[in-house]
Structure 1
């Protein structure tokens, strides 16, 4: 930092001259940009601001009026302090100077002993040059840090965390909707930092340059190109050095902008932040509800009395998926449709890709809202948006807090994936009660014992490579084992049907008239179908 007026007065060479401060005691902490020796009365054009002027009293004049005029002129010219050596001054001039000093706010200092001005200037200028070198070295280090992060394609969270460490203060990155997409509390409490973030943020308007603004005097800098601003970086507290913090924020902003241009995807940041929180909640480790609520609300999830875990399972995609990029594009389309459906239902949500083709949603049910009606509206809008896709929606029982709702996504995923195997016309939404026995069997489909059971029950026709046999068995079982009812459907002629069923009994080695045999076959067939679902 630049030396302050007090720092200069504390120098040994100044102290030996016995300095006396006549005015401006409350301004001794002001920084001195340069030291200027002058005996000229007219300083117009000679100062640039921030200088401490040294003189022997020749320029100050005589009489209170003349001295006051000189001091006022010096202050208007930009001087931050005046040090006058009065060793040769008349007593009256010294008295007039003390009176005149009361008319200005800048510090006016006198020394009673002779002092070598050249030693003061040399000492102070070395301090100023050293400060400038320190700032250059600091700027170079910061530049290298964020350049490395850019080259490594670091995520927004890493860039924000590094900025917070360098500033030693919390840093928040938000988008233009005032939703927090990354933050680093830097040792502070996240709930306290993000409390009512959206409301507080809306009261502090986005500025085109780095500055403090708003009722809380937030230090902020825009993020994005001049024509495509997409967010801002904020330090919502006071810092040790605002100039240093501004420099760091601007370099962090540039790194974010460069990475954003490389990604060409503004929407992705918010989704990544939501996905990060949801995946963190699904891990088996403790995380406080207060922390989760603060982070979720900063991401746009409104506080609610209940939250519904919903999973969207893509059956056959939005077309032929030929590679990983196409799969990612498909999930992106689904995610954008989900975001639209959430807005249309006047709710809020956390959304994340659980695995390719399966999107998890923690949907807030606003207080007083009818859950069934809201879910119906959400599903209708989503299916309208995805008219070219076959999707199945599974929902688990609503929970009273976000952590429990995130845990319920596994059940909702199970319901959605099981419902995808159900025959007949699709429902808008499925719950556990809709998948019944099929849902129970889905839990055990990968159990080797279940596989052995299904294969042994169906061995007689699985080895025949005849899909018609499986189809016949399925239709027969779905008809409740009623041969006459199956024949009336016009599937095949009655004599042909009876002959094929007799051959099926022989292949399977069971009596199809036996209820327990039909039950075993039905369970085996369900397990076989579920095994094919991946």
Structure 2
């Protein structure tokens, strides 16, 4: 007979026959069965069928048995019969089938009362049957169910072990689990932030509700009844938890499948010594959802953001991009770690931030060629969503040339994190969208920043240069439209002679006319400042401007010319 612990695991997915199902067997129906007590317990599962005689049968039971008896050897009444009934029912049996005739002409009253009190079905047979035929059929059903569970467990174990050995991405493992269990599955980190989620057709908002709300300080999210929850851990280290929300039974047992999934994820986590996959994947998944339009409603998106650790309700959200500029003097991974850590510390403790490498997002999220080029050069920009309380001063912009409060805080944190040998010219370029309270505006703001790429800074503080949508609306607008063929033709027509001249070599071809024009258009009313920006002497700068006017046939003092060339420069690829 199976070990009770194993039996409990098999029973988890309800493969065992119930008393109700056994009553429908032809071998039982041949005895003209009649349910006389314990009708509410007909759905009790039957773990084994046991033919019983005599008074000592209770000591032989493990629980879950269907007792088949004629009552031979039982007391006919009085305290002895009541004691026998109490012992049988106390053993946790699933039901009693009493064949009338040999031991009892009618079921004893003590047995009827006891079965009713314990909701244990009592079935009487008024015609003689062969108990061996009933036990044979019942045991065939039970063993068949157990064999099915073993086969299912082996198949799931093989699949998930292969996923773990193959270091399959966490989202793929979670998707396979959800498909196997036909139920939503959520992987969370130790802080209860959702790392990966597969909904299996369920409403995202409802499925993620336990993680989107406030998590009790004393424990994990409160999941619905019928959920299964197991830790993801190995070698004494716990990396998170895996939860399967309510769903249909599985032959291998829902908890068993989930534990095997946790094992596969633990194998992958052990192979990822730095934990990069787990650290990045939750944020990457949210950005792909947001930028790829993979959500149906704002409420659904808000639930995913909150579950990933970015609260939305009653807060403002700022879209941002960050990138290093200039020589950092060390490996790009160290540069990125310094920028990420500085930003997280800049918004702490009240703020929250989600970060993801821009080029790591799927093509469906619309990664721009400019971002891909930067990634290939090892200077991959970071996308960020920053959530702050509505009254937080760091959520405020800066209408003047001064840097906004968030940039000032970021510069201070960088000063404490950047290694001493870092060249003085190195900077972090921070592009900030406007503080938003509506999710659709947040999405639009992030898309606008990504399309704009890196623009000239509107402010600088410490090692941080800042571009702000609120301060540079035209530049962000034009960059957002730069992919239109009509705008590209406009830029080519307006700047073609300068591009051709810069590409030529020989006397008078310095290759810097576009740079000089950009410096001039940034400060059209102050040519001395523009010359400094172009890093040229005033006389050489004026000579370049005269050459630009000659090549383009324009007057650079004319307002319409300034507007036309400004738009053309902004429309050029980053």
**How far 1:469 sits from its partner (Å)?**
11
Work out whether 1:368 is the aligned partner of 2:372.
Answer: no
Give the Cα–Cα distance (whole angstroms) in 2 for the partners of residues 424 and 100 of structure 1. 83
Alpha-carbon distance in structure 1 between the residues aligned to 2:117 and 2:567? 95
- Cα offset, 1:9, TM superposition: 1.9
Match of 2:53 among 30, 39, 51: 39
CA 1:463–1:301 in structure 2 vs 1: closer, same or farther (change >3 Å)?
farther
| Deviation of the 1:138 alpha carbon | 1.2
Contact residue 319 and residue 386 of structure 2 kept, 8 A: yes
The alignment status of 1:68 with 2:72, answered yes or no, reads no
Deviations 1:80-127 (A, max 9, x none): 222222322354885665466556543333222221111111111111
Which residue matches 2:410?
382
Question: What is the rounded CA distance, in whole Å, between the counterparts of 2:472 and 2:441 in structure 1?
Answer: 22
The correspondence for 1:21, drawn from 24, 35, 42, is 35
Q: Tell me if 1:77 matches 2:91.
A: yes
Stretch of structure 1 that moved more, 421-430 or 23-32: 421-430
Compute the displacement of 1:435 (Å): 5.7
CA separation of 1:239/1:200 partners in 2, compared to 1, >3 Å: closer, same or farther? Answer: farther
Comparing 442-451 and 378-387, the one that deviates more: 442-451
Change (3 A) 1:470 1:265: closer
Q: Which residue number corresponds to residue 363 of structure 2?
A: none
SS in 1 for 2:187: strand
SS in 2 for 1:62: coil
Q: TM-score, normalised by structure 1?
A: 0.78
The answer (yes or no) to whether the contact 2:498–2:548 under 8 Å persists in 1 is: no
- Offset of residue 456 of structure 1: 5.4
SS of corresponding position for 1:417:
coil
Q: Aligned runs of 1:246-265 on 2, under 5 Å?
A: 246-265=255-274
Quote the residue 1:403 is aligned against: 440
1:343 corresponds to 2:352 = no
Kindly indicate whether the alpha-carbon contact (under 8 Å) linking 1:22 and 1:101 is maintained by their aligned counterparts in 2: no
Question: How far apart are the structure 2 equivalents of 1:132 and 1:367?
Answer: 58
Secondary structure of 1:30's counterpart equals: coil
SS at match of 1:430: strand
Of the structure 1 ranges 393-402 and 521-530, higher mean CA displacement relative to structure 2 is found in 521-530
| Cα distance change, pair 369–438 in 1 and its aligned pair in 2 (3 A) | closer
Kindly state the Cα deviation for residue 136 of structure 1 after the two structures are TM-superposed: 1.0
- Counterpart CA distance in 1 for 2:230 and 2:82 is 43
Deviation of the 1:240 alpha carbon: 3.6
Rounded Cα–Cα distance in structure 2 between residues aligned with 1:52 and 1:149: 41
- Per-residue CA deviation, residues 504-533 of structure 1 (Å, 9 max, x unaligned), is 57995989xx99468999999999999999
Contact 1:4 1:30 in 2 (8 A): yes
Contact preservation (8 Å) 2:397, 2:434: no
Q: How does 1:472-483 map to 2 (within 5 A)?
A: 480=526
Query: Are the counterparts in 2 of residues 206 and 232 from structure 1 also a CA contact under 8 Å?
Result: no
Q: Which residue of 2 aligns with 1:431?
A: 468
Residue 202 of structure 1 aligns to a residue in which SS? coil
- Once residues 455 and 154 of structure 2 are traced to their aligned partners in structure 1, the CA distance between those partners, rounded to angstroms, is 57
2:200 counterpart of 1:176: no
C-alpha distance in 2 between matches for 1:205 and 1:226: 22
Question: Any idea what SS the aligned residue of 2:351 has?
Answer: coil
The answer on whether the counterparts of 1:9 and 1:19 sit within 8 Å (CA) in structure 2 is yes
**Equivalent position of 2:323 in the other structure:** 313
Structure 2 CA distance for aligned equivalents of residues 411 and 100 of structure 1: 74
Q: Which range is displaced more, 59-68 or 432-441?
A: 432-441
Q: Residue 228 and residue 10 in structure 1: after superposition, are their counterparts in 2 closer, same or farther (change >3 A)? A: same
Please state how far the C-alpha of 1:377 moved relative to its aligned partner: 4.5
- What is aligned with 2:9? none
Structure 2 counterparts to residues 111-190 of structure 1, below 5 A = 111-190=125-204
Is the CA contact 1:72–1:104 (under 8 Å) kept in the aligned structure 2? no
Mapping of 1:283-298 within 5 angstroms? Answer: 283=292, 287-298=296-307
Distance 2:571 2:106 in 1: 106
Distance 2:61 2:545 in 1: 110
Structure 1 equivalent of residue 370 of structure 2: none
Question: Residue 199 of structure 1: CA displacement?
Answer: 3.3
How far, CA to CA, are the matches of 2:83 and 2:169 in structure 1?
59
Task: Name 1:334's counterpart in structure 2.
Answer: 339
Q: Which one has a bigger Cα radius of gyration? A: 1
Task: Call closer, same or farther: CA 1:264–1:463 in 2, change over 3 Å.
Answer: farther
Aligned to 1:391: 428
Aligned residues: 512
- Give structure 1 stretches of 5+ with no counterpart: 208-212, 322-326
Match of 1:452 among 496, 510, 514: 496
8 Å Cα contact 2:411-2:464 kept in structure 1: no
Partners of 2:438 and 2:545 lie apart in 1 by: 56
Given candidates 379, 382, 389, the residue that maps to 1:359 is 382
SS of residue in 2 equivalent to 1:106: coil
RMSD: 4.6
Instruction: Report the CA distance between 1:431 and its aligned residue.
Output: 1.8
Distance 1:421 1:215 in 2: 50
SS at match of 1:143: helix
Q: Does 1:276 align with 2:258?
A: no
User: What is the TM-score with the length of structure 2 in the denominator?
Assistant: 0.74
Q: Is the contact between residue 432 and residue 466 of structure 2 (CA under 8 Å) also seen in structure 1?
A: yes
Q: What is the 5 A alignment of 1:43-54?
A: 43=57, 45-54=59-68
Contact 1:312-1:360 at 8 Å conserved across structures: yes
Give 2:362's aligned residue.
Answer: none
Deviation at 1:62, TM superposition (A): 1.9
Tell me by how many angstroms 1:420 deviates. 5.7
378-387 or 157-166: bigger deviation: 378-387
Q: 1:474 and 1:377 mapped to 2: Cα distance?
A: 28
Whether the 8 Å CA contact 2:63–2:91 is kept in 1: the answer is: yes
